[in-house]
Structure formats: C-alpha cells, structure tokens
C-alpha cells in the first residue's frame, strides 16, 4: 500500500511541477492544486497507513482496540485540505483578475515587473 | 443559464440543504459533523441557487454581505476563546454548561458550540465571497 | 496579568481589530481609527510580553488546555518576544503612515482588516510551539499578504502577485511534505518534543535530509540565495505602506523559522547543515547587493537590499556562537527599523515628486533638508556607518565571526557593506543632492511650490519616520542594554533545554 501511495505521490508531484512549468496561468493554478494534493498525501502516507481500524473508543471502554489508526495526521491533513481550499479559491480569483487585466494567460507576457523599468 | 427543471428543483433543494447544514453543525463535536462541513453544505445551497437563478437574487436571499458574515463568524470563534481567557482558563480552554431541559433531557452547551457556529459562518462567508465574485461580470 | 492572557493578547488584539474593522465595512473613517487603536494596543501588549518574559523566563500557554506535546501551545521565549515586539512597533508606525498614504478605494476594499489579519499571522508564526501550526500561521499570513499585494488590481500588482503566490505556495507544499516526513520519523511535531527526541536519533542522515527540506521551504519564504527572485518581482508593486509592512516583516518570519528550526530541532549534524547555511548566507549577501547596485528604481533597489541583508541575518545562525547569533538578531531588529523607514521616506519623496525613478528625482536636499536628513540617517544606518544601529549590528556580527576565525565570511560581509554604502550613496546623490532635470532648465522641480504644508497628512507621515529614525540612532548610541539583552537571547537559543523544560515540564 505504501509503495502504491509513494508512486502516486511521485506522479502527482511530477505532473504538478510539469503543469507549473507551462506558460499558461490556468495550468499554473491546476499545477498548484496537484502539488497541494501531493503534499497532503505525503503527510498522510509518511505518518503510517492503518486500514480499517478507526481510532474510535468502543462503548464502555476507555481505549480503542489496538492497532488503531493515528488520528493526528488525519486532523493535520484535514486542516491542510481546508487551507488548500482557501488558497486555491484565492488563486482562482487572482487568475481571473490577471486574465481580465492583462488580456492573456501567457506567463511570458507578464514580465513588466522584472525588468529595469516599469 | 435558465433551466426550468434546475430552478424548480433548486427551490425545494435549498431549504433541505440549509436544514441539513444546520443538522451537521449541531451534530458536531461528539459525532461526525461540525461547523466546517456544515458551512460547506450551507454554502453549496447558496451556490446552487446562484447557478440556477442569478447572483443579485442570491445576494438578496442571503440578506447580508459575505464580508459581514466572515466578520461575525470570526468574532464568535475568536470570542469563544476570549470567554475562556476571562474565566482564567488558557485561550480556547473550553467551558461547559450542563442543564436539564424538560422534554429534551440533559443538554450541554459549551464555548465550543460558539466556536463551531463561528466557523460555520466564516466558511459560508468565504465560500460565497469567492463564488459570487467569480460568477459576477 | 496571567501568562495565558499575555501570550494570547498579540493574537487576539489583531484578530479583534480586524473583526471590528470588518463590522464597520462601510465606514472608512471608523476603520482608520480602529486600525490605529488596534496597532497601538498590539504594540503595548508586545512590550508587556517582553517585560514578562525577561522577568519570568519562557512563557507557555496551552491553547484549549491540552498538555503538550499533544495540544497546541504558544511559546514566548526571548527571541519570540523580541520579534513580536518588533512586529508591534512596525504595525504601530505603518498603521499611522497608512492614514496619509492609502487611497480611499483600497481603504474601502478591506485594507485595514487585511492589515491586521496579516499581523495576526505574523505574531502567530513567531510564537507557535509546533511545526504544523507554523504552517497554519504561515498560510494565514500568506493569504493576507496575497490579497494585500493584489488589492487595487493594477497590472504590475497582479503580475507581481502571480509570481509571489506561485513561489510561496510551492514553498508551503514543500513545508507540508517535510512536516509529514518529520512526523513519520519522530512521531511528534511539537518543537520542544522534537528537540528532545531528535537529540539521539538512530538515523541522523534522515533527519538532516528532512532538515534540508525545511531549509528550502523557509529559504524561499526568507528569500535566500538562490530562491529570492520572486521578491524583487513583487515587493515593489503595491502601495508603499504595504511594501514597507511586508518588507519589514514577511521575510523575517522566514528567517525566524530558520533560526528556530536550526537551533532547536535540526542540530544533529551541525558541521554539515550549518556549513551550507554559511555558504548560502555569503551568496545571499553578495547577489542581493549586486542586484541593488544595478537598479535605478528606489523601491526595487531597496527590495534587493532586503535579500542582501537576509544574508547577514543567517551568518550568526550558521556560526552558532552566542555573540554571532546575538549579532544576527540585532541585525534583524535593526533591519526591520531601518528598512521600513527607508520605504516610508521614499514614500514621502514620491509624494513630493511623483516618481520612484532615481533619474527623475532630484533637488530634494535643496528644498527639503529635513526629509533628506531623515533619509540620510536611515541610509547610513543601513550601510553600517557609526553611530547608527547598523554599525553596532554589523560590529557584533563581525566580532562574533572573528572569534571563531571565520575570516572568509567577514570579508564577504564587509565587501557587501561597501557595496551597500555605494548604492545608498547612489540614492543620495541622484535623488537628493544633484539638481533635478527641471532645475537644470531653470524651472522649479515638482513638489516644491505646492509643498503640502504642516497638515494632518504630514504629521501622519512624519511621526512614524521620526520614531523609527530616533530608534535607529538610539540603538546605535545606547547599544549596551540592547546587546546584553540579545546575548541573553542567543544563549537561551543555544541551550535548547531551557525551551524544552518550559514546554514539557521538568520530567524531561
């Protein structure tokens, strides 16, 4: 399972970075999404995968039956997904604004702030 | 996009979705649910309305600016922590109030509920702010 | 006041200010008042925090009353308290300056709430006690700064924002992956717990590899060599008050994170990791200042200087001796004061002459000697001339490096210093000393006849500048108490057991 996840993380990172290297800002945004999913999956996988044993305390007991899945990484991933959601929402608005203002989605056209003169 | 089927379905769906979102909000803490997921369902209701009808009528239905919703939500969530501070607990140290309500049995209210309602409002506010901004123009 | 309150206040005050300002969304006037009150309260709370930390040692507050290492905890040691104090100072000055320079359109689109959300993210990053919450506070800070940079929607702003957003998100994703791997290795993310558990880990190379991921991630945020190129492409695009705020605070959060991580958590193979830091510090100093030397636009020039000065801040961390580390922290404090002031003053000269281009500026000394003197003080402080703060900061740093016989880095630092002096002199001669084009043609240069007199706007612009300039002189002349505080800070950093015991209690 871990191997499969590792391969998946690799594929996600690779495709995310590939998309970010394209010139289109829409692809940049999609690349960022893939990258953030890859990072979430890394966090989730590296913390250890335990299948089918949620950390729920049975009625009357005071501890879940061992082995149980570590709840902390799940909480972390959930938080990271929420943050990723917020950031993505902002990025989409930004991409739309940039397209409206600059009139193109080609990154090469957006170099006016890099040169020596504005 | 004007689709009669979608508009008719949306009219009844919005009410169900909003009710479900409040159910999820109140179910939280002890069982799966909570402010975030409830807020997303609530935002979905308004987003659906905005797709089926248009943005101005969605804003009218909302009746309050999304920014204002975020502000009230943040005030409630942050305020929940301040109540604990005033009570001499650490920030967000949760305080509980247990009571017996005739007909309902024992209920416990806590600063956590205030926090969750705050999160609920912030999530609806932020999601709608983005969706309505994107859909306008 | 109890410790819980003191530690929570620097977070609660900006949050409350932002919320109240948002509730007054339609009233620009009330937002302005609320913003200044909030920033002043933050400044006061940060002073109280530093005093309490000095008296009672490291303060810990367990949010939600969950004991560490399981719960979220906020920790204020000397370094955190000093950084929070500087945040309070910058917030106080820039919030006043914003009153005079921010245009009504941006003000009514939520500038003040965003300003204070940004402050909350920054104080949160400075005080958080675990890696994951550092990530969360980073994101709070970044989202607020994204919007602040793009707010107004002018073309250069949006172009700058795209680069800023993309690079900072990549850095966040690297940080998140590294956090995942670190949790996999150590089973905890609490700084104190990590510091304890990673002391004698079986596979130090694994931890070092993860440490390098953190270096890359924090490095992008701190704009160190070779990952700085987003900074000069975006920092100069928003209005000058925003530029001053983010230039003073954002990259310093990255530096703070590096200092925290590489003094407390990743200290397994210092000969390897800190050697890399030293090389990076030198390269950052030189490349940054070379970029600045080539520029003729004041804001871009100053942006490149930010990069160069990040290098100085890393030298002390790389050398890891109390004196050098104290020098680094002194440098951070000095740089926050001076760099903000330079941006604020360039805002004044923009107000006077309507341009940031050095070739179009001119004659400022002749017509506005007081403005020019204020610029001169800050410029010389930045270049490290005595008796200003920059001189004492550099002196401490250089003495710290000489003590351990790191001659090469001293040479690089002094060479960079010379180039800094050169580019500051360039602004001085081009912008202030030489006559402007109009004057050469026997006309009055712009901004002379219609000098906006001693109005409330001028007070709002000059009070912050005067405060910061006075601090810059004061820290140079009365350096003894500052340095002794900073050496205390550095010793606390170099002895992680203080931090660990404060957070986890004595049983560790």
Q: Are C276 and C331 in contact (CB under 8 A)?
A: no
Report d(CA C281, CA A103) in Å as an integer: 40
**Rounded CA separation C93/C116 (Å):** 13
For chain C, list the contacting chains (3+ Cβ pairs, <8 Å): A, B
ipTM of the complex: 0.93
Determine whether the interchain pair C173/A80 forms a contact, defined as Cβ–Cβ distance below 8 Å: no
For range C144-149, the mean pLDDT: 91
8 Å CB contact of A90 and B130: yes
CA-based nearest residue to C163, from C118, C213, C220, C214: C220
Tell me, yes or no, whether A43 lies in a domain.
yes
Q: Least CB-CB distance to A93: which of B36, B127, B134?
A: B134
Chain A CB contacts of C184 under 8 Å are 46-48
pLDDT at B96: 74
pLDDT at residue B1, rounded to an integer: 63
pLDDT at C453 over 90: no
Q: How many CB atoms lie within 10 A of CB A30?
A: 17
β-strand partners of B100: B106
Per-residue pLDDT of C349-381, as tens digits, reads 888 888 888 888 877 788 888 888 999 999 999
At C382-429, the pLDDT tens digits run: 988 888 888 999 999 999 889 888 888 999 999 999 999 999 998 888
Q: Is residue A113 part of a domain?
A: no
Strand, helix or coil for residue C375 = helix
Chain C from 46 to 65: CB within 8 A of any B CB: 61-65
Asked whether residue A118 is domain-assigned, the answer is: no
**Angle, helices C479-494/C78-101, rounded to nearest 10 degrees:** 130
Q: Subunits that touch chain B (at least 3 Cβ pairs < 8 angstroms)? A: A, C
Residue with tokens 């590792």: A6
Give the tens place of pLDDT for each residue, C168-201.
999 999 999 999 999 988 888 999 999 888 887 7
Structural domain boundaries, residue A34 = 2-50+70-106
pLDDT of residue C508: 46
Place C136 in a pLDDT band, splitting at 50, 70 and 90: very high
Read off the pLDDT of each residue in C234-258 and give the average, rounded to a whole number: 92
Number of structural domains found in chain A:
1
Residue by residue, DSSP assigns C252-264 as HHHHHHHHHIIII
Token digits of residue C438: 């109009």
Cα C104 to its chain centre, rounded Å, is 27
Which residues of chain B fall below pLDDT 50? none
Compute the C-alpha angle C380/C386/C389, nearest 5°. 70
The residue-averaged pLDDT of C200-225 equals 90
Question: Residue A117: inside a domain, yes or no?
Answer: no
CA distance C432 to C372: 7
Could you state, in order of their start, the residue ranges of all structural domains in chain C? 288-496
pLDDT at position C339 is 93
- Given a cut of 50, is residue C256 above it in pLDDT? yes
Is the Cβ–Cβ distance between C414 and C407 less than 8 Å?
A: no
Q: Is residue A56 part of a domain?
A: no
What pLDDT shows up at residue A118? 44
CATH number at residue A80: 1.10.287.3510
Neighbours of A, requiring at least 3 CB pairs below 8 Å, are: B, C
A44 contacts C166? CB cut-off 8 A: no
| pLDDT for C447 beyond 70 | no
Half-sphere exposure of A40 (CA within 13 A, CB side): 18
Q: Does residue A62 sit within a domain?
A: no
Q: Is C243 left (phi over 0), alpha (psi -120 to 50) or beta?
A: alpha
The pair of three-digit structure tokens given for residue A1, joined into one six-digit string: 């399972």
> Which of C8, C45, C147 should we substitute to test contact with B (largest number of B Cβ atoms within 10 Å)?
C8
Which of B72, B76, B90 to mutate to test binding with chain C, by most C CBs within 10 Å of its CB?
Answer: B90
What is the tens place of the pLDDT at every residue in C34-61? 999 999 999 999 999 999 999 988 998 8
Would you say residue C450 has pLDDT above 70? no
**Would A9 be classed as within a structural domain?**
yes
Tell me: pLDDT of C451 over 60.
no
| Residue in B closest to C117 by C-alpha | B74
Please name the residue of chain B whose CA is at the shortest distance from the CA of residue A94: B134
> Percent helix, strand, coil in chain C (nearest 5)?
80, 5, 20
| pLDDT, tens digit only, all 118 positions of chain A | 889 999 999 999 999 999 999 989 899 999 999 999 999 999 989 887 887 777 778 888 888 887 888 888 888 998 899 898 888 888 888 898 888 888 888 888 887 777 655 4
Contact between B91 and C16 using a beta-carbon 8 Å cutoff: no
Of all residues in chain C, the percent with pLDDT exceeding 90 is 52
Q: Is residue A111 part of a domain?
A: no
Could you check whether the bond before residue A67 is cis, i.e. omega within 30 degrees of 0? yes
Q: Distance between alpha carbon C431 and the CA centroid of its chain, in Å?
A: 26
What pLDDT does C445 receive?
65
* 3-class SS of residue C445: coil
Cβ contact (<8 Å) for C166 and A32?
A: yes
């Amino acid at each position: 399972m871990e191997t499969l996840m590792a391969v998946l993380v690799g594929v996600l990172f690779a495709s995310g970075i590939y998309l970010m290297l394209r010139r289109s800002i829409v692809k940049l945004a999609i690349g960022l999404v893939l990258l953030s999913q890859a990072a979430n999956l890394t966090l989730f996988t590296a913390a250890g995968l335990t299948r089918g044993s949620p950390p729920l305390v049975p009625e009357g007991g005071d501890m879940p039956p061992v082995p149980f899945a570590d709840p902390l990484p799940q909480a972390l991933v959930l938080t990271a997904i929420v943050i990723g959601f917020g950031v993505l929402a902002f990025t989409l608005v930004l991409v739309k604004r940039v397209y409206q203002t600059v009139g193109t989605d080609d990154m090469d056209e957006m170099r006016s702030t890099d040169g020596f003169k504005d | 996009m004007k689709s009669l089927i979608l508009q008719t379905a949306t009219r009844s769906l919005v009410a169900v979705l909003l009710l479900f979102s409040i159910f999820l909000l109140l179910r939280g803490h002890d069982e799966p649910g909570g402010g975030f997921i409830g807020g997303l369902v609530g935002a979905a209701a308004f987003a659906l309305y905005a797709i089926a009808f248009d943005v101005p009528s969605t804003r009218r239905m909302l009746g309050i600016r999304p920014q204002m919703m975020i502000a009230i939500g943040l005030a409630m969530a942050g305020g929940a922590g301040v109540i604990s501070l005033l009570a001499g607990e650490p920030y967000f140290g949760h305080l509980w109030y247990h009571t017996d309500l005739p007909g309902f049995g024992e209920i416990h209210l806590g600063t956590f509920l205030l926090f969750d309602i705050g999160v609920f409002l912030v999530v609806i506010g932020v999601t709608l702010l983005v969706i309505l901004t994107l859909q306008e123009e | 006041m109890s410790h819980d309150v003191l530690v929570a206040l620097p977070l609660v005050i900006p949050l409350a200010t932002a919320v109240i300002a948002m509730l007054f969304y339609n009233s620009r006037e009330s937002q302005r008042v609320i913003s200044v009150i909030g920033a002043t309260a933050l400044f006061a709370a940060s002073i109280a925090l530093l005093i309490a930390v000095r008296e009672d040692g490291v303060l810990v507050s367990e949010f939600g009353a969950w004991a560490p290492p399981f719960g979220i905890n906020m920790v204020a040691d000397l370094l955190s308290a000093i950084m929070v104090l500087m945040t309070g100072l910058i917030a106080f000055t820039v919030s006043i300056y914003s009153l005079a320079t921010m245009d009504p359109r941006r003000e009514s689109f939520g500038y003040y709430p965003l300003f204070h959300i940004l402050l909350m993210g920054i104080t949160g990053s400075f005080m958080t006690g675990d890696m994951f919450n550092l990530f969360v506070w980073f994101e709070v800070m970044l989202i607020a700064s994204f919007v602040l940079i793009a707010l107004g929607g002018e073309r250069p702003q949006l172009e700058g924002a795209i680069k800023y957003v993309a690079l900072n998100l990549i850095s966040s994703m690297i940080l998140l992956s590294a956090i995942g791997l670190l949790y996999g290795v150590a089973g905890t993310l609490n700084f104190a717990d990590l510091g304890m558990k990673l002391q004698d880990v079986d596979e130090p190379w694994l931890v070092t590899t993860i440490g390098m991921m953190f270096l890359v991630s924090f490095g992008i945020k701190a704009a160190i060599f070779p990952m700085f190129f987003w900074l000069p492409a975006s920092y100069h695009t928003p209005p000058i008050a925003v530029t001053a705020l983010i230039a003073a605070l954002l990259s310093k959060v990255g530096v703070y994170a590096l200092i925290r991580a590489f003094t407390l958590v990743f200290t397994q193979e210092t000969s390897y990791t800190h050697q890399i830091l030293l090389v990076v510090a030198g390269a950052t100093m030189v490349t940054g200042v070379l970029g600045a030397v080539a520029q003729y636009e004041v804001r871009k020039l100053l942006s490149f200087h930010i990069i160069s000065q990040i290098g100085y801040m890393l030298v002390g961390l790389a050398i890891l001796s109390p004196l050098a580390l104290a020098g680094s922290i002194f440098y951070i404090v000095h740089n926050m004061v001076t760099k903000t002031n330079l941006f604020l003053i360039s805002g004044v000269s923009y107000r006077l002459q309507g341009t940031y281009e050095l070739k179009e500026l001119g004659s400022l000394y002749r017509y506005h000697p007081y403005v020019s003197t204020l610029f001169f003080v800050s410029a010389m402080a930045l270049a490290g001339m005595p008796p200003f703060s920059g001189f004492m900061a550099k002196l401490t740093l250089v003495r710290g490096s000489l003590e351990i016989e790191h001659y090469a880095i001293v040479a690089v630092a002094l060479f960079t210093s010379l180039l800094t002096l050169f580019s500051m002199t360039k602004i001085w001669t081009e912008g202030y000393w030489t006559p402007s084009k109009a004057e050469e043609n026997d006309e009055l240069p712009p901004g002379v006849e219609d000098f906006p007199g001693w109005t409330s706007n001028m007070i709002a612009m000059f009070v912050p500048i005067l405060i910061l300039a006075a601090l810059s002189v004061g820290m140079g002349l009365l350096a003894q108490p500052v340095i002794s505080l900073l050496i205390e800070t550095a010793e606390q950093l170099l002895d992680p057991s203080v931090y660990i015991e404060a957070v986890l209690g004595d049983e560790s």
